[in-house]
Amino acid sequence: MQFLSYLINGISLGSVYALIALGYTMVYGIAKMLNFAHGDVIMIGSYVVFFAFGSFGLNPVLSIVLSMVVCTILGVAIERVAYRPLREAPSLAVLITAIGMSYLLQQVAQLMWTSNAKSFPSVVANSSIFKPVSLFDGQLTISAETIVTILACVVIMVLLLYFINCTSAGHAMQAVSEDRGAAQLMGVNVNATISLTFAIGSALAAVAGALLCSSYPSLQPTTGAMPGIKAFVAAVFGGIGSIPGAFLGGILLGVIENLSKAYISTQLSDAIVFLVLIVVLLVKPTGLLGKKVNVKV
């Protein structure tokens, strides 16, 4: 029974990683860059929810929607200001810019909101729809946060797969991801597609932030850093560039992390997560669902 409880909590944590990993993997697939500022967009989004819902008592759903809007604007603005001028630059320059952007966001957050941890109010705590579920005569309790997190992740995944595979804009994204030049020859505006990708990724980051902080209620300017890195690991684990891969990688990572916390060691759980990544990359360098890409010269 305990195992089941650890497993479900792991899936919930993994769902958050999956949502964040989607942002990494989509941006990598379309823009061929690693946006290391992605984790800090989550942090900003969480602060928006904290103030809107926690301080001003706005409806939780509206607070998350507001946070999604702010993060979307932020994500698109970051791309426009910091990454677009480097479109033709070497990838190392873009990578360093992304790391710099990550620190910039953290420092700005620290200046505005200090580094003191704020206690984040759960967005589902007083919900009338989602209640904790008690199973097996109370031996297993699943919190409302866990249920909402897993549900949100599944719904978003289904919507995203529909968007990518069944809409014209989704096909354009796949085309840009596969061959930017050929997509342009079809009339696809590559810059607009990249902006759209950042918009979607950042909106998902806002959702992930609110869910993460509801389960782990401590918010400070560095809150986004560790989940960001782990989601990046999840994206690589699942095969970077692959959307189902990000989903699978995220869930597996969350489960591995939670089970190793429960049965091996709380201190070592992060190390175990990264160890698993190293082993997977040694055995299958493209990740679990990654495709081998033949680079043509």
Partner 1 sequence: MGEMLAVKGINVYYGSIHAIRDVSFHVDEGEIVTLIGANGAGKTTTMHAISGLLKPKSGEIVYCGQTISRMEAHKIIRLGLAQVPEGRRVFSGLTVQQNLQMGAYTRRDGKDAIQADFDMVYDLLPRLKERRSQAAGTLSGGEQQMLAIGRALMCRPKMLLLDEPSMGLSPLLVKEIFKIIRDVNRNGVTVLLVEQNAKMALEIANRAYVLETGTIKMEGEATELANNIEVRKAYLGAQ
Instruction: Report the interface residues with partner 1, using CB under 8 A.
Output: 168, 171-172, 174-175, 178-179, 181-190, 296
To partner 1, the closest distance from the beta carbon of 191 in angstroms equals: 9
To partner 1, the closest distance from the beta carbon of 290 in angstroms equals: 13
C-beta of 65 vs 190, nearer to partner 1: 190
- Which class for 140: exposed (0-12), middle (13-18), buried (19 or more C-beta within 10 A)? middle
DSSP 3-state assignment of 219?
strand
Q: Is the torsion defined by CA of 235, 228, 202, 54 positive or negative?
A: positive
Count the residues in the chain.
297
To partner 1, the closest distance from the beta carbon of 34 in angstroms equals: 21
CA separation, residue 6 to residues 197, 201, 255, 295 (Å): 34, 28, 8, 42
Q: Which residues pair with 133 in a beta bridge?
A: 142
Other beta carbons within 10 angstroms of residue 66's beta carbon come to 19
To partner 1, the closest distance from the beta carbon of 217 in angstroms equals: 41
Whole-angstrom Cα distance, residue 215 to residue 189?
A: 40
To partner 1, the closest distance from the beta carbon of 33 in angstroms equals: 20
C-beta of 5 vs 184, nearer to partner 1: 184
C-beta of 65 vs 161, nearer to partner 1: 161
C-beta of 60 vs 290, nearer to partner 1: 290
C-beta of 242 vs 258, nearer to partner 1: 242
